[in-house]
Amino acid sequence: MFAVVPDPIPARMKGLNRAEICDANFQQFVREWDGPRDAAPADDAAILAGSALDARSFRELFESQLISRHLDLMARVLRVQNKVFYTIGSSGHEGNAMVARATRHTDPAFLHYRSGGFMAERFRKVPGMDPVMDSALSFAASADDPASGGRHKVWGSKPLWVLPQTSTIASHLPKALGTAIAVEHARRIGHVLPVPADSIVVCSFGDASSNHATAQTAFNAAAYTAYQKLPAPVLFVCEDNGIGISVKTPEGWIARNFAHRPDLDYFAADGLDLAAGYGDVERAVAHCRRTRRPTFLHLRTSRLMGHAGTDFEIEWRALAELCAVEASDPLLRSAAIALESGLLSKSELLELYEAMRVRCFAAAEDADSRPRLTRLDEVMAPLAPYSPEQVHAEATREPDAEARIAAFGSEAALPEGQPPKHLAVQINQALHDLFAKYPEALLFGEDVAQKGGVYTVTKGLQKTFGGRRVFNTLLDETTILGLAQGFANMGMLALPEIQYLAYFHNAGDQIRGEAASLQFFSNGQYRNPMVVRIASLGYQRGFGGHFHNDNSVAALRDIPGIVVGCPSRGDDAATMLRTLTAMAKVDGRVCLFLEPIALYMTKDLYAAGDGAWSTAYPPPDQAMTFGEARVYDAAATDLVVLTFGNGVPMSLRAARLIEAERGWKVRVVDLRWLLPLNEGEIARHVGECARVLVVDEGRRSAGVGEGIVTAIAEAGFGDTPLRRVVGADTFTPLAGAAFLVIPSEADIVAAALTMV
């Protein structure tokens, strides 16, 4: 909580490069070593008396540490030559190699960015792989980078089950926990895992990150799970170096905060000393694997050479403090162990050190000669894959006939044979069909199980398919979306529910920063397909205010790669759900399905009892084409209304009034797909009509309407008379006042009548 005021620093000291100092320190330490020296130990003998680490393991761990260190040193040198583009290093954290050695390469890993040692060691688990070259390609942003294809410097590997990510502070913890829960849950539903059934999940992060709300969410959810005696084999590895960029972590804070948390089992290990720390790391890993409980490994580390290459610590940190940190360099301790044990002589040690330097620089020069991404289409290729023919085939593939009959109770009860129904019922029927079709499908969220959701949309699903496939979660959207990613990582089909759109914003980074970015940053090697159902939009009567009448679609439209669909009627909801699910299955897409709350129970359109907004259930071999709009009165050309959601029935009613007032024939287009917008479809309708009205219940700023108007202008229809009917830039108030801030039918009519 208190800043360290640097001592006055002589000018001659300011020019010193701390990376060079760490490099020189190691060599000087070895050359001047005059400590005791034992006879060289056998490979399977303890490296030092009392150590759980044998000599062969120590040597390999030490080599992994050297790989990590020289990659850091290489990055600092070659960054200024524009051959390397990332300088956040792992120096001081090389002890995390012990975690890699104690775990398996099939234990999924979500890693801290200071995980060079871990990666170098995990590469040993699969013969024929090269940690130096692969890492150099990533540092160089080469298109040949096997982790991300040159899109970012990430620690990742498909064969090594390290899922590439650039997680913001602690945002990867919920999906790591979700993956651990998924490993255990697969057995309950008979799903075949892509990893061994006794796998654990490794998740590393820094001491500063442990304080983040997202981290605390994961710790709480892990303990919540364990408290109920449910397995959650996640190994949280807190790499405690005592500082976050320039903010000190109070001495002893991590141990005080985590050592005695119920249902989060605490272990501590010295990550600065391989001989002393390895036994404790092994115990933590073994405990997690054996008990299947969430385990917290507090790994002591140090941060050398600053936060990144641009962090000149000498300008804000006392020189004496810097020197003390550099004296804690784990490579110095490893060198001492190698010398004291007799494993290596001074000359052998220095030769090994220099050989690793040569190897890393040679790899970097090679990587610099490789191709880089030079075209936009190359950059975006893995972001939003779409395979139309395969998606259509999957969406229209019918469930097993017997499974359908079992799901609905009898052949006579199949929904396509029933009278027209409203939106909520048709979504429910479509979900029953999807669960009959996909045994790996899971639906979860708040109140979705016995209650069937706040609006009974999931009613009966748990009774039909059981509590292992339809279940309630704790009240936390971040955990819900973390679980969704975890289940998807393990090959299951996640259909999480977010109870209201306003609640999504609490956890939006789980989609924006994590789920939606995985295919991009893994070059399409990893995917976490899901269909997120969200009760959405406004016009709900008798209940609400801002948190239950949220129309902020803008927060979704900014997320690259996701698909956002919004049906306004029951048959569209069923066919859209099939297509979204097929996109998730075939192309690994992250899909959001916005369900207009105010239309859930709507049966009528023009007059009470007309039943005009109830629809027949489409048979399971029917699906909606991605991007396709629904058009009402396609022959009309006097005015086209472009809208979605609640705006559709409102616009249809307004169209009758406009026709009565002006005699205009009005075409109403329900866009249905909000991200990406079908700009070609929009342009086609505008080109066929004399006037354009955009009806968007969202706020004036940054809503869907802005995207529609932009598409019209960019298509060259800037001279076509156009009006936009939108909500106000305000939060939604309670009761009747809510209808003052969102468009009404009268607003639509009035806007149309101003056009000549």
Sequence length of the chain is 756
Scored b (16 or more CB within 10 A) or e, 710-747 reads ebbeebebeebebbbbbbeeeebeeeeebeebbbebeb
Tokens of 96: 């995390």
Q: Do 570 and 423 form a contact (C-beta atoms < 8 A)?
A: yes
Using CA atoms, how far residue 88 sits from 139, 247, 307, 311, in Å, is 10, 17, 6, 10
Q: Does the annotation mark 548 as catalytic?
A: yes
In 3D space, the residue among 441, 503, 448, 457 whose CA is nearest the CA of residue 476 turns out to be 503
Phi and psi of 387, rounded to 5°? Answer: -115, 90
Beta-strand (E) ranges in 419-489? 441-445, 470-472
CA distance linking residue 345 with residue 29, whole number of Å: 13
In one-letter notation, the amino acid at residue 456 is T
683 CB burial (10 A radius; 0-12, 13-18, 19+): middle
Tokens of 551: 């129309």
Look up tokens 């479809």; give the residue.
681
3-state secondary structure of 87: coil
Look up tokens 């580390």; give the residue.
301
Look up tokens 């054996």; give the residue.
290
Phi and psi of 199, rounded to 5°? Answer: -65, 150
Phi and psi of 202, rounded to 5°? Answer: -100, 135
CA distance linking residue 480 with residue 714, whole number of Å: 39
CA distance linking residue 85 with residue 78, whole number of Å: 9
Look up tokens 């089992």; give the residue.
265
Using CA atoms, how far residue 483 sits from 175, 262, 453, in Å, is 6, 21, 18
The one catalytic residue in 70, 172, 548, 685 is 548
Active site residues: 548
